[in-house]
A = this chain, B = another copy of it.
Amino acid sequence: MIQDIVENLRAVRERKPLIHHITNYVTVNDCANIVLAIGTSPIMADDIDEVEAITAISSALVLNIGTLNSRTIASMLAAGKKANELNIPVILDPVGAGASELRNRTTERLLKEVNITVVRGNMSEIRFVAGLGATTKGVDASEADQKSEKEIGRSTAEKVAKQFGCVTAITGATDIVSDGRRTIYIENGTNLLSNVTGTGCMCTSLVGAFCGAATDFLIAATGGILSMGIAGELAAESAGDKGNGSFHVAIIDEISKLNTETLVKRAKILEA
């Protein structure tokens, strides 16, 4: 497993794929810098008049609904369909799904009209995708009493993966990645990551980077999330007590310095 991830990262750095993003304006700079740091090229373009052309020259398409609006929704749909036509992987980050009707409708529409390759979100976002009626406030306590959070995550990820024929990734204390048949747990990361805005978006963009040079999208999703987790741990070591600003900078530093040796040494992944 880890050797497959290492191979995927090598391919990323060799081919330097172009990663097209239609994403929010809050964390877009970090998303561009993190995909550069891992070894790819970012391109951000959201106008309906060019998204298909930009997707066509790219190796992966990242759709992030963080600050969506009517203009960009149409662009996401058009770019997604073009990507499907050209067999370019599409990565969806349903930011805040469950928090408003607009996000709910848009998430549903994207999943219905576009073949999504990987969907990545936190538990409440993916539970919304699963149609479990999650609120944005996290796991429902009464259900969590009965099953462990990890088990709920696993069954949710598997359900979504089968339902939409896509790799599904839920990030949290334990990250869970599933293609419906195989499910992987990743125990890397640090809760400091939740102190910086956009670490979820950056994680999705890293998944996009790995997908841009992948043969197996379960591996690619795991590689992107694992890279983020390890970078978080290393950034916490080098900058954690300096404060959130330094930690933020250090995340990009660590991704740019991430080598396959560190990846192998620090990875805490296991198949479920």
Q: Does A198 contact B (CB under 8 A)?
A: yes
Q: Is there contact, CB below 8 Å, between A26 and B32?
A: yes
- Determine the distance from Cα of A140 to Cα of B41 in the docked complex, in whole angstroms: 20
Q: Does A248 contact B (CB under 8 A)?
A: yes
- CB A205 to nearest CB in B, in angstroms, measures 12
Known: A29-B198, A42-B197, A250-B245. A102 touches B57 (CB 8 A): no
Q: Is there contact, CB below 8 Å, between A243 and B253?
A: yes
How many residues of A sit at the interface, in one of the four size bands? 35 or more
- Determine the distance from Cα of A66 to Cα of B43 in the docked complex, in whole angstroms: 9
- CB A48 to nearest CB in B, in angstroms, measures 8
Number of copies of this kind of chain in the complex: 3
Chain B residues lying within 8 Å of A136, measured Cβ to Cβ, are 57
Q: Is there contact, CB below 8 Å, between A253 and B245?
A: yes
Q: Is there contact, CB below 8 Å, between A44 and B66?
A: yes
Q: Does A53 contact B (CB under 8 A)?
A: yes
Q: Is there contact, CB below 8 Å, between A57 and B99?
A: yes
- Determine the distance from Cα of A136 to Cα of B41 in the docked complex, in whole angstroms: 12
Known: A47-B70, A99-B53. A248 touches B33 (CB 8 A): yes
Chain B residues lying within 8 Å of A66, measured Cβ to Cβ, are 44
- Determine the distance from Cα of A67 to Cα of B195 in the docked complex, in whole angstroms: 26
Q: Is there contact, CB below 8 Å, between B33 and A102?
A: no
Known: A53-B101, A246-B249. A44 touches B32 (CB 8 A): no
Q: Is there contact, CB below 8 Å, between B245 and A47?
A: no
- CB A193 to nearest CB in B, in angstroms, measures 11
A67's partner among B46, B102, B198, B243 (CB-CB below 8 A) is B46
- CB A25 to nearest CB in B, in angstroms, measures 4
Residue pairs across A and B with Cβ atoms less than 8 A apart, 9 shown, are A25-B25, A26-B32, A26-B44, A27-B29, A45-B67, A49-B70, A49-B101, A50-B101, A249-B249
Known: A37-B244, A54-B100, A244-B255. 7 other contacts (CB 8 A): A33-B244, A45-B100, A49-B102, A53-B99, A54-B99, A195-B256, A242-B253
What 9 A-B pairs are tightest by C-beta distance, nearest first?
Answer: A243-B253, A245-B252, A50-B102, A244-B256, A50-B100, A245-B249, A32-B197, A53-B100, A47-B69
